[in-house]
A = this chain, B = another copy of it.
Amino acid sequence: MTSKVVLYMSMSLDGFITGPDDGPDHGLGLGGERLHGWLHSGDGDPASYRPTDDAGSTVFDELMATGAVITGRRTFDNAGGWGGDHHDGVPIFVLTRTAPERPAPGHARYVTDGIASCVEQARAAAGDRDILLHGAATAQECLRAGLLDEMQLHLVPVLLGQGRRLFDNMPADHVELELLRAMDGPGVMHLRYRVHSRSTLPGAASGRGAA
């Protein structure tokens, strides 16, 4: 089995992964906790959020069976670094431009030499297990670099109106997807896609590129 980089994100139908004004005190932004309504009420430890329905628990168990975590600095900080252990002590690679002076807590480490290095290190650590990717900016970097293998999106039937978009700041290239699985859970649709290679449109505007 080949290890895959899999993005796991809850997204509103209008494409937001947080409400407005997300930050360390409001990781999901104003009203953004609506997006996690399909999860069980938890205490901050990711394992405590396991849903009880079949679809939700299946997806959740897959997430928790990953062998490494890649996350952006914003997501990491807003989640309080998961206390240094996202699940089972697997290594957490935090993509950042500049590492803070204080070392990363627990099983986390900062990666400052780019997404390709981050994915390479995570692959080495995960062995034949998949790699969990979290965070919009990091997902966009991974997509632009052609390093994202799959996406497991939890599509929540709500319009948030404003917030942080999962897909943003991307060039006008088409990324073809393939729906691998659709599971309907209570108040959420779990959609798993394979990411195929990008095709650049002839004559396309060059796009805004990296943020």
> Contact: A20 with B204, CB < 8 Å?
yes
The residue of chain B having its C-beta at the shortest distance from the C-beta of A201 within the complex is B31
Bound-state CA distance A143–B160 (Å) is: 12
Given A174-B31, A179-B184, A182-B189, is A162 in contact with B13 using a C-beta cutoff of 8 Å? Answer: no
Instruction: Of the listed stretches A63-71, A112-120, A164-172, name the one at the interface; the rest are far from the partner chain.
Output: A164-172
> Contact: A171 with B161, CB < 8 Å?
yes
Min C-beta distance of A22 to chain B, whole Å: 12
Min C-beta distance of A163 to chain B, whole Å: 8
Identical copies in the complex = 2
> Which chain B positions have C-beta within 8 A of A170?
14, 159, 161-162
- A178 contacts the other chain (Cβ, under 8 Å)? yes
Given A14-B15, A15-B15, A167-B13, is A176 in contact with B158 using a C-beta cutoff of 8 Å? Answer: yes
Given A20-B172, A204-B20, is A158 in contact with B182 using a C-beta cutoff of 8 Å? Answer: no
Min C-beta distance of A200 to chain B, whole Å: 10
- A147 contacts the other chain (Cβ, under 8 Å)? no
Interface residues of A in 151-199 (CB under 8 A from B): 153, 157-163, 165-167, 170-179, 182, 184, 189, 191, 193
Count how many chain A residues have C-beta atoms less than 8 Å from C-beta atoms of the other chain: 42
Bound-state CA distance A158–B179 (Å) is: 10
A-B contact pairs, 27 of them (CB 8 A): A13-B153, A13-B167, A14-B166, A20-B204, A20-B205, A21-B205, A31-B172, A31-B174, A31-B201, A31-B204, A157-B176, A157-B178, A157-B179, A158-B174, A158-B176, A159-B170, A159-B175, A160-B172, A160-B174, A161-B170, A161-B171, A161-B207, A162-B170, A162-B171, A162-B207, A182-B184, A189-B191
A residues whose Cβ falls under 8 Å from a Cβ of B = 13-15, 19-21, 30-31, 34, 143, 153, 157-163, 165-167, 170-179, 182, 184, 189, 191, 193, 201, 203-205, 207-208
Closest 10 pairs between A and B when the two form their complex, measured CB to CB: A14-B167, A157-B177, A159-B175, A161-B170, A162-B172, A15-B15, A31-B201, A161-B172, A20-B172, A157-B179
